[in-house]
C-alpha cells in the first residue's frame, strides 16, 4: 500500500466508511494475526487479541490523525494488548501457584512449529519461539513484517538507536539458536518408550 492510498484510506476511515475499514482489514488482518500468534504462541489467544485490536481501531477511527501510518498504529495496539495479556497471565500464574490449586502449564510447542512447511521454516519457527519475547517482537516487526528499525521503534516506544541495538542482540540470539539446532539435529525428537 503506497502512502497516497494509505492517506486516502485514513481519511475515509475517519469519516466512518465501512468499505474503507474492510480495505484496511484485508491489508493487515493476516499480518497482525501472524504477529500476535507468534508472539503469544497460541492461535486462540491471538484471535482474541486480534479482535480487540480491530475493535480499538474502529472505536478510535474518528480520532485518527490525517497522517496516521496504519501499520505502526495497528501493530502498536496489538503489541500493547499482548503486553496487557502477558501481565494478566503472569498474575494468574502467580495466584495459581500460590494457591496450589491447579498446575501452571509450561509453554508448549508453538502451533507454527507443528505446521511450518519445510525444515528451514520449522527450524526458524522453533528458534523464533525459543527467544525472549522482547527479542521475538523485534524480529517479527523487522524480519517478518519488513518494518524499518525506526518504524519498529515507534511501535515499541523506544528510540531508533535503542531499536537497532535490540535488533542486533535479537538477531545474534536467533542465529545462536539456529546454530544450536544444527549442532543437535535430532535434539528436538522425543525419546520413544518401548
Partner 1 sequence: MTVEPHDPLLATLAGLTAPATTPARDTRVRARCHATMTAARRPRPVARAIDRLLPVAVLVYAAITIVEGLRVAGVL
φ, ψ of residue 78 to 5 degrees: the values are -60, -45
Please report the DSSP string for 92-109 in residue order. Answer: HHHHHHHHTSSPPPPP--
96/111 with CB nearer partner 1: 111
Q: Which of residues 51 and 92 has its CB atom nearest to partner 1 in the complex?
A: 51
**Binding region for partner 1 (CB under 8 A):** 16, 18, 21-22, 25, 29-31, 33-34, 37, 43, 47, 50-51, 54-55, 57-59, 61-62, 111-112, 115-117, 120-121, 124-125, 128, 139, 142-144, 146, 148-150, 171, 174-175
- In the complex, minimum distance from the CB of residue 176 to partner 1, in angstroms, rounded to a whole number: 11
Task: Tell which residue, 53, 60, 59, 55, has the closest CA to residue 76.
Answer: 53
Q: In whole angstroms, give the CA distance from residue 48 to residue 36.
A: 10
As measured in angstroms, the least distance from the Cβ of 108 to partner 1 is 16
Q: Cβ of residue 34: shortest distance to partner 1, in angstroms?
A: 5
Least distance (Å) between residue 90 CB and partner 1: 25
- Can you count the helices (H) and strands (E) in the chain? 9, 0
Shortest distance, position 1 Cβ to partner 1, whole Å: 16
Instruction: Name which of 36, 112, 118 is nearest 74 in CA terms.
Output: 36
What gap in Å lies between CA 17 and CA 4, rounded to an integer? 18
Amino acid at each position: 500500500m503506497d502512502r497516497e492510498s494509505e492517506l486516502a484510506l485514513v481519511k475515509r476511515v475517519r469519516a466512518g466508511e465501512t468499505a474503507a475499514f474492510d480495505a484496511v482489514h484485508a491489508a493487515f488482518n493476516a499480518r497482525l494475526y501472524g504477529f500476535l500468534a507468534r508472539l503469544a504462541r497460541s492461535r486462540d489467544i491471538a484471535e482474541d487479541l486480534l479482535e480487540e485490536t480491530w475493535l480499538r481501531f474502529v472505536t478510535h477511527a474518528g480520532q485518527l490523525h490525517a497522517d496516521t501510518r496504519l501499520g505502526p498504529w495497528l501493530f502498536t495496539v496489538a503489541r500493547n494488548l499482548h503486553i496487557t495479556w502477558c501481565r494478566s497471565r503472569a498474575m494468574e500464574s502467580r495466584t495459581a501457584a500460590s494457591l496450589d490449586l491447579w498446575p501452571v502449564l509450561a509453554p508448549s510447542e508453538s502451533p507454527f512449529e507443528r505446521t511450518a512447511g519445510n525444515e528451514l521454516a520449522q527450524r526458524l519457527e522453533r528458534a523464533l519461539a525459543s527467544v525472549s519475547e522482547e527479542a521475538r517482537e523485534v524480529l517479527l516487526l523487522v524480519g517478518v513484517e519488513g518494518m524499518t528499525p525506526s518504524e519498529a521503534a515507534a511501535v515499541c516506544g523506544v528510540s531508533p538507536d535503542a531499536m537497532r541495538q535490540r535488533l542486533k542482540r535479537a538477531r545474534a540470539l536467533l542465529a545462536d539458536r539456529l546454530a544450536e539446532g544444527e549442532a543437535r539435529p535430532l535434539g528436538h525428537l522425543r525419546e520413544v518408550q518401548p
